[in-house]
Structure 1
Amino acid sequence: MRARVEVFAAIRRDARVEGLSVRALAVRHGVHRRTVRAALESADPPERKTPVRLAAKLQTFKPAVDAMLVEDTTAPRKQRHTARRILARLIEEHGAEDLSYSTVRDYVRVRRAEIDVEAGRRVEVFVPQEHAPSAEAEVDFGEVWVVLNGVKTKCHMFVYRLSHSGKAVHRVYPTQAQEAFLEGHIDAFTALGGVPTRHIRYDNLTAAVTAVVFGQGRQRVENDRWVLFRSHYGFDAFYCQPGVTGAHEKGGVEGEVGRFRRNRLSPMPVVASLDELNDRIRVWEAEDDNRRINDRIRTVGQDFDTEQPLLAALPTETFDSGLVLTPRVDRSSMITVRMVKYSVPTRFIGRKVRVSLRASEIVVFDRRTTVARHQRITVKLGQSVQLDHYLEVLKAKPGALPGSTALARAREGGSFTNAHEAFWAASRRVNGDADGTRELIDVLLLHRFMHADDIQAGISAALTVGAVSADVVAVEARRHAAGALIEDRELTAVGGSTSDRHSGAHRGAHVESDVQRVVSLTQRRLMDPAAVIAGLPPDSRPIPSVSSYDELLAKRTSSNVSDTASKENIS
């Protein structure tokens, strides 16, 4: 069409500027004289007429084809006529040997749609809906790709959307299993401060529905845990029609999945953990309160302010969204959950423990006490090993530490730092491999009740004075923590922020000036310049000697020899 408009414009320009005849214009532009006359009459080219194929050979068989297509309107979906089957029946029953497959196919494609509309099967009428405040919500999952720890990873985004205001909550999980489904609801209810009073719309996803009862309307066989969850929070579920036909019944959340993915998750977010990504999403959700949906006058946030007080109140008790399992701890102090191994403290070897399998983590309990916590791994045959779980065994078997999987994972995760490496190397030089490793393990045990930054400062202070002892590290770590606490109080008094308890050069200077450091007695004895820096007076006492004790040892040895000789003479 565009080419014809340009040709018409060129013909009209040449006729206007050069005054060429119709024949001359037709020769110059390579068109028929009728096209030139049409261009001179109007600048808008007439629409081309699509030729209609008559298919004369099919005319006598069209009533038979129509009868087959009408029969298909009441036949099972998988037992309807194809164009090839219609052609075969025409040949067998009506002797239509001269018909071609393409002729029958083209007619069936058009005529089937017409007959379906006549039978009322293809007419989709969408009636505009008004959603009362706080009455309804919609839920759906959408696939998203995330660069997680440098690896392109497929994740699943849970989306919960209030139908009236359009306020939505989004959470990204490694799976779309029931744990993520329930946890997404809990996060959404908590973030929005209430539960819809009528119902929530869903697909027939397996996290909620065990079976679809066909022929019984919207009746479903629901998962027992899902029924318990609905009962706990007090809401009803509305299940859409299966397949594509039911997608429009929750079109709001379907569109929200695509909108948020395009506008917030493109390009792929690069994060170290899904918790970091979900923290970003919370900020984006707050920003989306200022947007308007289509032609609405009020923003999403303004409509939600009206809707939120009308939501049903949350229950006082928290629902545990995790799936409870009871695996047994093997000889490697590992449990197997969904074909993935996770470490637990070695004291539980041979026992069964209670595990709460959640969307993004697993938590291991001994009765009601949490004994281990891991980020959930979705890769089959994966492992999550924590060095802390093996420290008691490694203290008895220090030679197993250098080649242990737990140490390798700690190095990869960054919890075993360069400070630990330096302390270990210095301790082995001074105390030997076995005892030096035990000193390191004692330092690692400090992490159970002290902050990592304090311990790292304690290690640095101990190495400065050459004291490779876990006790020295503990003392210095406590002093560092005390100095940081004093600094936090000073900042609080002047209105400063205390979110990072060990940041800033001023805090480091405060600790260095107000807290006395560990001093090496060896350096003090040898009048090392560091002793002068430490502010200690010179020690004029002589170096201790054990020569007097050696004299006593010699007397004792001679007495033992004389006693032995007298006994031999008596015998």
Structure 2
Amino acid sequence: MPMGRLAMRHVRDVMRLRAAGLSIREIGRRVGAVPSTVRLTIRRFEAAGLSWPLADDITDAVLEERLFAGAGTKPGQRRRAEPDWAAIHRELKRKHVTLSILWEEYIASEPDGYRYSRFCDLYRAWESRLSVTMRQSHAAGDKLFVDYAGDGIAVVIDRLTGERRTAQIFVAVLGASNLTYAQATWTQGLADWISGHVGAFEAIGGVPALVVPDNAKTAVIKACFYDPQINRSYAEMAAHYGTAILPARPRRPRDKAKVEQAVLVIERWLIGGLRHRIFHSLAELNAAIGEMLRRLNDERPIRRLGVTRRQLFNEIDRPALKALPETPYVFAEWRIRRVSIDYHVDVGDHYYSVPHRFVRAEVEVRLTARTVEIFHKGERIAAHQRMSGNHKHTTVPEHMASSHRRYAGWTIERIRQDAAAIGPATTALCNLILDERPHPEQGFRACLGIIRLARSYGADRLEAAATRAIDIGARTYGSVKSILANNLDRRPAQRPADGIAIVHANIRGPRYYN
């Protein structure tokens, strides 16, 4: 979200949430903006003499004009009381808990126990005997890993002919507790993919901070190691639940080791266990999956930890999860269309009207099961009831022209340090990217990619490219790479009178005033 200026729909969201009593930081988190931008928006709103709720005649265009018009022990010693390593492993998944804290608690109850260095060595030795996925460090309530199983389950959809159809198995697993969820869907398409997420959130009774999918085309429009682009409908679902999407990095299997292990468990425990049963509907199959999951999560202890997934979930993950939203999520799909010469938009082989002045304009269409909403530059210009694909027209008379109406490993601190080593422009650009993302990890890869461009192009060229990127408001890895690849950084840039370039987060650059 650009600093200092929000889309008008987000301005309305800011004021609605402010009127509801939410804090600046919470509002920023919900609308995807930094707190300084939220504060500036509220000040401009009040300075414009506006009050919430807005009058019906204040459109987004009017609102924009009003707001921006002015604008250790040693070998040989005796064996001491052995700590409960499984309990210590569970405690380490809690936020702010370290081995040092746990050792102090242990030595308080066992004064003759192991010294700190020996305590750490013994724990690391015990931890090394866990599986790879169990050894990975996952904070409580932090990540939900999602994917589809490689194999499906056959469902007999016609009892007379015996016709079969393969159901796909959606799998989700929480990082800290390994609580596992599975759901059968007919396809791996966007609607079924999001339906699996909704089912997972309902099953665990809360929302994690991050959702980690693979780089499947359903979830990611453009896969990129540093700055992947998320499908808009998928991102809208995440925004509804107040979580963020962080795709696994390409060619980094450890990023998704947790869900791959869960998929393996589901394939062996669930699919293998149901191989002799015959199902005649998706509902019947999901009922059987639910019973198998209950046994997996509630009855089978995790090896070496001695507790079930459900017990670990109730102890570790549940207190850290966000609450489910009050209103249910309604799946919406976004499509890009161009208005035809007859001021209608073709959506699913049906034609919906828009005001005639938008002829030939590119618009965004938001589809739900019941409605079709059409937007132009963020403003909703038409809304219709969704119709079947019958090649007919749905026309609002007011949309017609008057003459027609008669007719029908890294850390963010290290990123900042490495950016500072290159120069002030790179530092400023990375700070902008980190501050503007809803979750810092989403901006982490983009900054890392920008810093690594210095290896190929040198620090001086990267500094020039970062300065140009700030000037034009391009704050992505792809934009900086494009500037360097096309030698745009070598073009002379406009400088202040004294010849010194000013790089600062509060300077908008010439693009803002165009």
TM-score by length of 2: 0.38
Ranked by relative contact order (alpha carbons within 8 Å, sequence separation 6 or more), the top structure is 2
Looking at CA atoms only, which structure, 1 or 2, has the larger radius of gyration? 1
